[in-house]
């Protein structure tokens, strides 16, 4: 229809001319009929133009040339340069680099790597740079020589991890300890245990409860901590070896062994009373040992004195008997001489210690020629003894 521009402003068959056969100045594709009104700006580009510009930018990014209409020798869209020899070689090099990067791995001195071939254990590699062609082989790196710790009884594992244990003498003790371990066999550690940390925690707590249940409270609190720690270490290691866990238990640190918090004050009073009882018992034992030793020594001394007196009396009696026998033998030989000698010896013994005066050959009857005198010395002795004199 003449004069109709269609939906985009074109004419039905006159090519968009006006009535005089000329094209209006403002009639362009994308404008309304009648041209552009005064004051209106340029209209938005068409969708085809936007598509062409997008294809042009895509060709530039993919290695093609810009400025074409998208119908070059490479086909629609201009994607042909991607499949050239240079593009294919570059892609192969990039893929090979990514594969080498994914297949190479490094193991540090404190680590070990477990290699798997199609998911099955292949071997263990030590420190250094290694190559495992992916995806046929993979490597799991573990810190085998690192010392790890598992704390038990301090509540880190939840409310049930309270460390309260029952002893043989029906007492409750609150225990906290730490298990220090490392990995002995990485392959067993990775494949035989689903959760190594929980396994070590359960095995350690079970071993400690078993040993505490066979011990009394006092040794656990005082002198047997080192012995108990050694027994727990051995028990944990034996159980983990039975599980084939690949774990080495280095030591067990016995951090705390106290009565429960609720009764600790009363327990301390009981402990103080027991210590006082032990002190008094030791003092009594020391006194008993002192008295007993002195009594035993005194008894031994009296026994030795009696034995000495017995020997002395017997020896004196035997000596007197021997002397009498020898005198009697001499008396048989010379009775008069022996009798006189015996008399003189007897008188010597009797009169030897007396204060006496013997007068021999005094003239006069009844000793009238002897001058009598007062024994002044004998009279003065009693007065001196009483503290005075006349």
Q: Are 215 and 225 in contact (CB under 8 A)?
A: no
pLDDT at 128 over 80: no
Name the residue with higher pLDDT: 388 or 222. Answer: 222
pLDDT at 200 over 50: yes
Per-residue confidence at 233, pLDDT binned at 50, 70, 90? very high
Q: Are 144 and 110 in contact (CB under 8 A)?
A: yes
pLDDT at 250 over 80: yes
What pLDDT is stored for residue 71 in this prediction? Answer: 45
38, 268, 320, 330, 345 from 342: Cα distances, Å: 190, 89, 14, 11, 5
Q: Nearest to residue 232, comparing CAs of 242, 240, 244?
A: 240
Structure tokens at 31: 């404008």
Name the residue with higher pLDDT: 88 or 56. Answer: 88
Query: How many other C-beta atoms can be found within 10 angstroms of the C-beta atom of residue 5?
Result: 18
Look-up of token digits 């245990």: 193
Q: Who's near 46: CB < 8 A, 6+ residues apart? A: 29, 30
Query: How many other C-beta atoms can be found within 10 angstroms of the C-beta atom of residue 220?
Result: 22
Q: What is the DSSP letter of 2?
A: T
Q: What is the DSSP letter of 78?
A: G
Q: Is 189 left (phi over 0), alpha (psi -120 to 50) or beta?
A: alpha
pLDDT at 111 over 80: no
Q: Who's near 359: CB < 8 A, 6+ residues apart? A: 367, 370
Beta-ladder partners of 142: 112
50-71 pLDDT tens trace:
667 666 655 554 555 444 444 4
Name the residue with higher pLDDT: 18 or 256. Answer: 256
Residue 190 class from Cβ within 10 Å (0-12 exposed, 13-18 middle, 19+ buried)? middle
The upper half-sphere exposure of residue 105, i.e. CA atoms within 13 Å in the direction of its Cβ, equals: 20
295-334 pLDDT tens trace:
999 999 999 999 999 999 999 999 989 988 888 888 888 8
Q: Who's near 88: CB < 8 A, 6+ residues apart? A: none
Average pLDDT, the chain: 75
Alpha helices in the chain (DSSP H): 47-61, 85-103, 186-191, 196-213, 217-221, 225-242, 264-333, 335-351, 376-386
- Round to whole Å and give the CA distance between 176 and 253: 9
What pLDDT is stored for residue 277 in this prediction? Answer: 93
State how beta strands 128-131 and 104-107 pair. Answer: antiparallel
Beta-ladder partners of 105: 130
What pLDDT is stored for residue 309 in this prediction? Answer: 94
CA dihedral 299, 300, 305, 309 (to 10 degrees): 100
Q: Are 65 and 84 in contact (CB under 8 A)?
A: no
- Round to whole Å and give the CA distance between 145 and 125: 14
Look-up of token digits 């000495």: 308
- Round to whole Å and give the CA distance between 175 and 149: 16
């Amino acid at each position: 229809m003449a004069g109709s521009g269609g939906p985009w402003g074109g004419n039905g068959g006159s090519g968009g001319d006006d009535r005089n056969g000329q094209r209006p100045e403002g009639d362009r594709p994308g404008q309304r009929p009648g041209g552009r009104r005064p004051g209106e700006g340029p209209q938005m580009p068409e969708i085809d133009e936007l598509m062409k510009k997008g294809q042009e930018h895509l060709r530039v990014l993919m290695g093609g040339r810009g400025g074409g209409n998208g119908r070059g020798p490479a086909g629609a869209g201009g994607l042909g340069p991607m499949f050239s020899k240079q593009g294919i070689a570059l892609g192969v090099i990039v893929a090979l680099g990514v594969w080498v990067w994914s297949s190479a791995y490094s193991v540090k001195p404190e680590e070990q790597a477990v290699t798997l071939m199609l998911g099955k254990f292949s071997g263990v590699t030590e420190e250094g740079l290694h190559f495992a062609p992916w995806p046929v082989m993979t490597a799991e790196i573990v810190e085998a020589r690192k010392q790890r710790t598992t704390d038990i009884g301090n509540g880190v594992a939840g409310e049930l991890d309270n460390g309260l244990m029952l002893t043989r003498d029906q007492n409750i003790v609150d225990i906290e300890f730490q298990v220090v371990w490392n990995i002995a066999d990485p392959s067993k550690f990775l494949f035989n245990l689903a959760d190594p940390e929980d396994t070590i925690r359960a095995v350690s707590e079970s071993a400690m409860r078993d040993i505490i249940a066979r011990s009394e409270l006092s040794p656990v609190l005082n002198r047997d901590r080192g012995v108990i720690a050694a027994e727990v270490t051995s028990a944990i290691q034996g159980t983990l070896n039975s599980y084939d866990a690949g774990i080495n238990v280095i030591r067990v640190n016995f951090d705390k062994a106290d009565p429960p918090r609720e009764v600790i004050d009363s327990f301390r009073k009981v402990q103080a009373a027991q210590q006082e009882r032990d002190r008094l018992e030791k003092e009594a034992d020391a006194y008993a040992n002192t008295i007993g030793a002195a009594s035993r020594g005194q008894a031994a001394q009296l026994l030795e004195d009696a034995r000495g007196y017995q020997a002395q009396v017997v020896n004196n009696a035997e000596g007197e008997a021997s002397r009498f026998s020898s005198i009697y033998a001499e008396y048989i030989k010379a009775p008069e001489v022996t009798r006189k000698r015996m008399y003189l010896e007897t008188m010597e013994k009797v009169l030897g210690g007396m204060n006496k005066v013997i007068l021999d050959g005094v003239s006069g009857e009844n000793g009238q020629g002897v001058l009598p005198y007062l024994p002044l010395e004998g009279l003065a002795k009693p007065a001196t003894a009483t503290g005075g004199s006349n």
